[in-house]
A and B are shown apart, each in its own frame.
Chain A
Amino acid sequence: MAISTNFWIWIAALLTLAIYSFLYKDNPFYKFAEYLLVGISIGYGISIYWHNTIITKVYNPLVYDKNFLVLIPLLLGLLMFSRFFKNVSYLSRIPIAFVVGAGTGLSVPSSFEFLFKQIYATMPLKLDIGSLIIVVGVISTLVYFFFSLEHKGFVGKVSKVGITFIMVAFGAAFGYTIMARVSLFIGRIQFLLSDWLGIIK
């Protein structure tokens, strides 16, 4: 393999290097790449929304299928823009009320089911040291997040166990985070060495 002759790979590689140059110190190359990213992601988002929402969910049903019911959600959606005009801004509360109402209605039962599933998962389906650790961990952590009681005496001791569990979980999460950040860097290095420079396969 040899160095890439693809123009876009060169662009991608140079932008990657521009972003990494920040590690040495802040500089105009980094700033350029950063602003480019912000701009492009907004532009990309708008084009996707245009095609997949306005065209397929509003324009097509309205023009081709003559489905005029679409006008109702369209009107509700447009009311959101009333926030930009002070004297009618209260109108934006109507669509927000719809979204909040429907969202709560959908999420409350589902959240409960989710909670039930997690409680179910804590139930020791077989007796072993693993399920004991889980039960102790869950209960002591719950005690730590108990605010109506002073953390003294027995409650204090249990919450100490709880915070220990929390810290162990944080340690695991921290380790995983390091792993993730390294992986991201590896992905870029792989791109630079293989797709761009062609040093490795």
Chain B
Amino acid sequence: MKFINFINNLDKRWIYLILALCIIIPFLFPVGFPMKTTPPVKSIYDFIEDSIPEGGVVLIGADYDPSTMAELHPMAKVVAAHALSNNLRVLFVTLYPQGAGMAQDVIDNVLREWNKSNPDNPKELGKDITLLAYVPGVSAVVLKMGEDILQTFNEDGYGNKLSELEVMKGIKNYNNINLMVELAGSSVVLTWLIYANGRYGLKMGIGTTAVSAAEYYSYLQSKQAIGMLGGLKGAAEYEHLLDEKKVYGGRKDASIGMDAQSSAHIFFIILIILGNIAYFVKKRKEGK
């Protein structure tokens, strides 16, 4: 009984502290929990790997900000690196002002890491990868891109005229884009699904935060999206798949965190069990 009272009256700060330790310790002493790739992740990977010819275009939507960066940033990096490794062209697009900073950081990072590990096949900004300038309007932007991408943006995110960039050669609208991977933790995913996929038939994959993952499963089932990366785990699975190809030496942000994620989950499961026992015992005692 003492124990039950202890649980019910536990100061929350103890839980915070233990949780912090659960996360920090695996970073210092990695265990390497086994990783299994799930079908929604694999189908995006396979699509980029097998279904897009060389020179094809992958559009990545960076519609997130620092608050969900921990989950979505690793996805952006790994998908972009994978596309580059297959000699595809990568375009970043964002419907939110803060997304531009995120995308630029990804581009810098991926280009630097790629050129470090593949000096014989260097990639260049403006030739292989770029960011389309941020233009306000959300759904209006998505719709206009279906007609003419160059006109929607005019410039890239670095102030260059899009029509002069090599990476934009032959790209007119969604017809010339082989796959879009939308990374967002908000309902902007729906905007892309409704307008770009629904109206223009753009092939789409979703990368989303774990919070929204459950919600977007239904769009996988309806085949509106070909696959989904859900949370840090989804990013880690993708890193795992790309790692088997051994072409990219960038840091595996998501995979490093997986041990910590697993140990935190174990801690939470224990808490939920203890909490429920305490709740039912207390309820029973009060009932008597």
- The docked-state distance in angstroms from the alpha carbon of A23 to that of B198 is 44
- Which residues of chain A are within 8 angstroms of B268 by Cβ–Cβ distance? 178, 182
Nearest residue, chain B, Cβ from A120: B222
Stretch at the interface among A89-97, A149-157, A168-176: A168-176
Within the complex, the shortest CB–CB distance from A101 to chain B, in Å, comes to 14
Within the complex, the shortest CB–CB distance from A198 to chain B, in Å, comes to 12
The answer to whether A183 touches B194 (Cβ under 8 A) is no
Within the complex, the shortest CB–CB distance from A112 to chain B, in Å, comes to 10
- The docked-state distance in angstroms from the alpha carbon of A187 to that of B73 is 10
The answer to whether A176 touches B213 (Cβ under 8 A) is yes
Nearest residue, chain B, Cβ from A114: B194
The residues of A with any CB-CB pair to B shorter than 8 Å are 23-24, 41, 44-45, 48-49, 52-53, 56-57, 106-107, 110-111, 113-114, 117-118, 120-121, 134, 169, 172-173, 176-180, 182-190, 193, 199-201
The answer to whether A189 touches B24 (Cβ under 8 A) is yes
The answer to whether B69 touches A187 (Cβ under 8 A) is yes
Residue interface mask B63-81, A partner, CB < 8 A = 1: 0000111110100000000
The answer to whether B134 touches A48 (Cβ under 8 A) is yes
Question: B89 interface residue, CB < 8 Å from A?
Answer: no
Known: A52-B133, A176-B213. A200 touches B97 (CB 8 A): no
The residues of B with any CB-CB pair to A shorter than 8 Å are 13, 16, 19-20, 23-24, 27-28, 67-71, 73, 97-98, 100, 133-136, 139, 143, 154-155, 190, 193-195, 198-199, 209-215, 218, 221-224, 230-233, 251, 253, 256-257, 260-261, 264-265, 268
- The docked-state distance in angstroms from the alpha carbon of A107 to that of B211 is 25
- The docked-state distance in angstroms from the alpha carbon of A178 to that of B202 is 32
- Which residues of chain B are within 8 angstroms of A106 by Cβ–Cβ distance? 139, 143
Nearest residue, chain B, Cβ from A106: B139
Most chain B beta-carbon neighbours within 10 Å: one of A48, A121, A177, A185: A185
Within the complex, the shortest CB–CB distance from B65 to chain A, in Å, comes to 8
- The docked-state distance in angstroms from the alpha carbon of A172 to that of B212 is 11
The answer to whether B70 touches A187 (Cβ under 8 A) is yes
- Which residues of chain B are within 8 angstroms of A53 by Cβ–Cβ distance? 136
Residue from the list B143, B218, B233, B257 in contact with A190, Cβ < 8 A: B257
Residue from the list B135, B139, B212, B261 in contact with A183, Cβ < 8 A: B261
- Which residues of chain A are within 8 angstroms of B16 by Cβ–Cβ distance? 23
The answer to whether B199 touches A110 (Cβ under 8 A) is yes
Residue from the list A23, A48, A184, A185 in contact with B13, Cβ < 8 A: A23
The 8 closest A-B pairs by CB, nearest first: A187-B70, A121-B222, A180-B210, A48-B97, A183-B232, A186-B257, A179-B210, A176-B210
- The docked-state distance in angstroms from the alpha carbon of A190 to that of B257 is 8
Known: A44-B97, A48-B100, A183-B257. A200 touches B134 (CB 8 A): no
- The docked-state distance in angstroms from the alpha carbon of A117 to that of B199 is 12
Nearest residue, chain A, Cβ from B253: A190
Within the complex, the shortest CB–CB distance from A189 to chain B, in Å, comes to 5
The answer to whether A193 touches B27 (Cβ under 8 A) is yes
Residue from the list A114, A120, A188, A200 in contact with B70, Cβ < 8 A: A188
The answer to whether B98 touches A41 (Cβ under 8 A) is yes
The answer to whether A176 touches B28 (Cβ under 8 A) is no
